[in-house]
Structures are given as structure tokens and as C-alpha cells.
Amino acid sequence: MAVSNFNKDKITRRKPSLDMSQMVFGKIPPQAKELEEAILGAMMLEKGAFDTVAEILKPECFYMDSNQKIFRAMQGLAIKSLPIDMLTVVEELKLREELEIVGGPYYVSQLTNAVVSSANIEAHCRIVVQKFIQRELIRISGEIIGDAYEDSTDVFDLLDSAEGKLFEITNNHLRKNFDDIDSVLVKTFNRIEDMRNRDDEITGVPTGFPTLDKITYGWQPTDLIILAARPSVGKTAFALNLARTAALNAAKPTAVAFFSLEMSSSQLVQRILSAESEIMLEKISRGKLEEHEMKQLYKKGFDRLSKAPIFIDDSAALNIF
């Protein structure tokens, strides 16, 4: 009996489980209030600062609602081709009836006191964007958690929605910076020098079609090639031949990813086997092969293709995310 009571006491004294909602949502959202104020102050002091900031930040990137309103007022001044300084910003806020909401002229004037130099304004903007992205990820995660608990939510719709929201953050706030022409010239010159030292006229990935190679010099990096034609004229067969040629190129095998929304991976592989082994697709599909054809299929088809860097995704629910 004593042992039993002792065990009960241990259970009652056990540390309660942690409340994850308090750990995550009880925190102050990521923010950089001082940097926001420094950025706004710099734009009122430095003539060209607004152009730098406008390329990186949007009003919603600011955590403080008052700072968002001030930045929108600056955008309004820029649209009107008016100078951006403390006086014009105050007047613009008056016109918008938002001056007292942001803290009055005193708050606007205090922003300039937070500025030591505008030399690092771009770095400050990047930090503010980073904090905004963190807040957006927290918000989206909360929405996903809430939707996931709903029994009426379709799981595939939820996945699409989550992917779409994350893609929107990436697309809107993680844009590539400009490259100065000097660095691009160096890369371009090095590539030209590399091609000059080659004996082969094909500078990219061979297509397997000499006439096409004369036009394209092979598939080039970053090129987008669209293959379009009427239904049932051989687009898939042609694309598979291009993929097979690239992957089985003896001099430079190139990995190929093939996405199919219609045919299964098995159907695609049958087509590749037919082209590689030179056996009619109809025979392979029906399994009506003679003994010598089976050997030919294995030797020319399976043996070579099994080592080829070809990857196939036949998921029917593929999307751009």
C-alpha cells in the first residue's frame, strides 16, 4: 500500500507538459524597431536614400503601424515628384489625416535623430526584410496549423495553399540582386575563352540531331526551350529522344529530369527502351518478343539505360510550386 501511494505521489508531482502554444505564440514577433526608425530618418535626410529603400522594402515590411504609414506618405511624395524631408512628410501625413495617429510632428522629427549615417541603409533594409519574412512564416504556420485541425479541410488543398503562400513570400521578397556589368563581363569572357579552346563546335548539351545542333550549338545553360505541336504528332517521343541522348552522351552524360502529367513512368520507359533497343514499341507493350529480341532488349536497352542519369516524376498533381 505504501509503495502504491508513493507511486501516486510521483505521478502528481510530475512536471506538467509544456504548452507549445505559449512557447511559440507568447513571444514578441521578430522586429527591428530601431532600424526601421533609422531607415525612415535617413530617407528624410539623404536625397537618394528613398530610391535605395524603395527597391527593397514595401510598407508591410515595417513592424510598427506608424512606420508603415510614414513610409506610405513618402511613397506618395515620390509619386508626386516632391522632395522627401521632415516638413514634406508631416504635410503629407496631415493631408492623409494620419499625422496624430503616427505620433504627431514630434515622432517624425525624432526619426532623424536615430540616424548616424545612411551609408549602411541597404544592409539595414535587408535586416528589416528578414524580420518581416520571419513574421510572415509565423503567420502562415499558424494558419496552416489552424486549417490542419479542421476536419472539413481537404489535405491536398491545404498543401497547395501552404506551398502557394510560401512561394508568394519567396517571389515577393527574395528577389535576386542586380549584377554589375564588370562581374558579368568577367564570367562571359571566361566562358568565351573556354569555348575557344574546345575542338567541338557544340558548346552545350548535344541534342542528337545534327541539324538542330547547328542552330542551337546544343542545349545552353538557362535557356528555356518550348516544344509545341498538335496532339499526337510525336512531341513526347521527340522529348524522350532528347532526354535519352543527353543522358547517354559518352563524352558528357547530363542528368535529365522528366516530368509527366499524362503518361506513367512505365509507359515512358517502354518508349525509351524501344528507341534504344530498336525494337517496335508495340511488341514491347504487348510482351510479344522472340528470344533474340529479349536478349537485344536487355543488352541494348536495359543494360545501358540502367546506368543513365534519367529521373522521372509522373505525379498527376504536379504544380509550379
Q: Point out the residues that are catalytic.
A: 262
List all residues 6 or more positions away from 39 whose beta carbon is below 8 Å from its beta carbon. 53, 57, 121, 124, 125, 128
